[in-house]
Amino acid sequence: MALALPQLPGLHSLPAPEHPELVAAPVAEALAAWPGAEGVAVVEIDPDLADTAAMSEAYDVPMAAGANCVVVAGKREGEERVAACLVRADTRADVNHIVKRLLDVRKPSFLPLERAVAESGMEYGGITPLGLPAGWRLLVDSRVADIDVAVIGSGLRRSKLLVPGSLLVQLPRAEVVEGLAS
């Protein structure tokens, strides 16, 4: 039995795997390879409203329905360690404690914008946990699972993905972390 396509009022849901033109290339590849993709929708939005707060206000989507993906890096003994952290939009990733401990680095910091965009193949404001580079860890706050329909990036600023939180914690390579965000 196919999963119902996620919907939110005011947004027109399309099956994401059937619309690769609405997502970044690495995201389209990830959707094609992931069995859970049948439960993922894509919605077109105004690219000027891609930032979570602006999108939430313009489309009347509660912040608690959003999930943000931030990319963090740090070094230990000359080795760089990178992780994408997926947290509810109404929280913040605990970079200085939890992420630091999980990456086992001295000083974690957000990956510079230019590097995050270049290495992910995604646009700023659209970086998403689907289709991340193989060397990056994917840390997912356990509370993301509780979001009925999570609004996440699509890799592009002109669209968003709608994904049940219960599917996000099942993403390939996802490490579900209790208390990743506060």
pLDDT in tens, 103-113: 999 999 999 99
Global pTM reads 0.94
Would you say residue 5 lies in a domain?
no
pLDDT value of residue 3: 65
Would you say residue 151 lies in a domain?
yes
- The amino acid occupying position 135 is G
Q: Which residue range is the domain that position 84 belongs to?
A: 14-177
pLDDT at 93 over 90: yes
pLDDT value of residue 98: 97
- State how many domains the chain has: 1
pLDDT (tens digit, 9 = 90+) per residue, 103-157?
Answer: 999 999 999 999 999 999 999 989 999 999 999 999 999 999 999 999 999 999 9
4 pLDDT band, cuts 50/70/90, is: confident
Q: What is the CATH number of the domain that holds 123?
A: 3.90.960.10
